[in-house]
């Protein structure tokens, strides 16, 4: 088992009011598995994704990655785990406008080296700048964008921009990739291309994917689909 989330609760306060978004969710994920999280808007899908990915602390409950309790770990260790072992793909891409596609793909690796996260992973030395660029180019090639490596996000289509974001999520060879509506801003053709790309990456690299989506086709090809309604799993 790669991730085991136990009794996850999340609540927010607005003055005297308390809004409970997640109400005791249990969810596990194996290596190489694709899990789709579906449900109506406001059900807590993205909140759960962020908690599983170490981005948003639960009000109660645990998230265990292998043997590490993410929220018992310190902030620096949790940031290191996110950088080294997780990738993130968002609906709005979040590429840096002033950098090229190649530079955007390399960025998470450079952040990890700069922050010294590699010291938490002493059996795997950080790559040199030259090897990082080669790896980034190989990733861009794998998503069909090697020829666009020097282009900035404003010079790319929506589908191309999302493929750069996918390559960026893979630069540190993560065990798991979290995707929040990865096809939400794309037309049906580009959404289909992203679907096939995720499927191919999952099979060729044995990387797990957790995908929040309203796209029924994307949900259908997942190994498991879980539905959230009113903050609980209903299927």
pLDDT score for 167: 93
CATH of 3-233, one of 3.40.50.300, 3.20.20.120, 3.30.70.260, 3.90.76.10: 3.40.50.300
| Band (14; pLDDT cuts 50, 70, 90) | confident
SS (H, E, C) the chain: CCEEEEEEEEEEEECCEEEEEEEEEEEEECCCCEEEEECCCCCCHHHHHHHHCCCCCCCEEEEEECCEECCCCCHHHHHHHHHHHEEEEECCCCCCCCCCHHHHHHHHHHHHHHHCHHHHCCCCCCCCHHHHHHHHHHHHHHCCCHHHCCCCHHHCCHHHHHHHHHHHHHCCCCCEEEEECCCCCCCHHHHHHHHHHHHHHHHHHCCEEEEECCCHHHHHCCCEEEEEECCEECC
Tokens representing residue 210 in the block: 């957790």
Q: Is the pTM here over 0.85, yes or no? A: yes
78 pLDDT higher than 90? yes
113 pLDDT higher than 90? no
| Band (13; pLDDT cuts 50, 70, 90) | confident
115 pLDDT higher than 80? no
The residue extents of the domains of the chain are 3-233
pLDDT score for 112: 85
207 touches 176 (CB < 8 A) = yes
**Tens-place pLDDT, residues 172-196:** 999 999 999 888 888 888 888 888 8
**Tens-place pLDDT, residues 129-168:** 788 899 999 999 989 999 999 999 999 999 999 999 999 9
pLDDT score for 122: 46
**Mean pLDDT for the chain overall:** 89
Q: Which residue has the higher pLDDT, 223 or 127?
A: 223
Percent of the chain surpassing pLDDT 90: 59
Over residues 95-109, mean pLDDT: 95
121 pLDDT higher than 80? no
120 pLDDT higher than 70? no
Across 11-20, 70-79, 216-225, which has the greatest mean pLDDT? 70-79
């Amino acid at each position: 088992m790669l991730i085991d989330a136990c009794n996850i609760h999340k609540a927010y306060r607005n003055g005297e009011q308390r809004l409970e978004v997640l109400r005791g969710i249990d969810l596990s994920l194996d290596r190489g598995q694709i899990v789709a999280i579906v449900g109506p808007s406001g059900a807590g899908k993205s909140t759960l994704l962020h908690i599983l990915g170490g981005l948003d602390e639960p009000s109660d409950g645990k998230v265990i990655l292998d043997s590490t309790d993410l929220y018992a770990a310190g902030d620096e260790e949790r940031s290191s785990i996110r950088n080294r072992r997780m990738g993130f793909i968002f609906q709005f891409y979040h590429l840096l406008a002033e950098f090229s596609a190649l530079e955007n793909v390399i960025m998470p690796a450079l952040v990890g080296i700069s922050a010294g996260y590699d010291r938490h992973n002493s059996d795997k030395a950080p790559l040199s700048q030259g090897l990082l660029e080669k790896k980034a180019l190989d990733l861009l090639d794998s998503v069909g964008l090697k020829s666009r490596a020097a282009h900035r996000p404003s010079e790319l289509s929506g589908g191309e921009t999302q493929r750069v974001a996918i390559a960026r999520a893979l630069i540190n060879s993560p065990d798991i990739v979290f995707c929040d509506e990865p096809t939400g801003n794309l037309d049906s053709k580009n959404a289909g291309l992203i679907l096939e790309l995720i499927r191919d990456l999952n099979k060729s690299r044995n990387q797990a994917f957790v995908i929040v989506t309203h796209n029924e086709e994307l949900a259908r090809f997942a190994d498991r689909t879980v539905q959230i309604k009113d903050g609980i799993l209903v299927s």
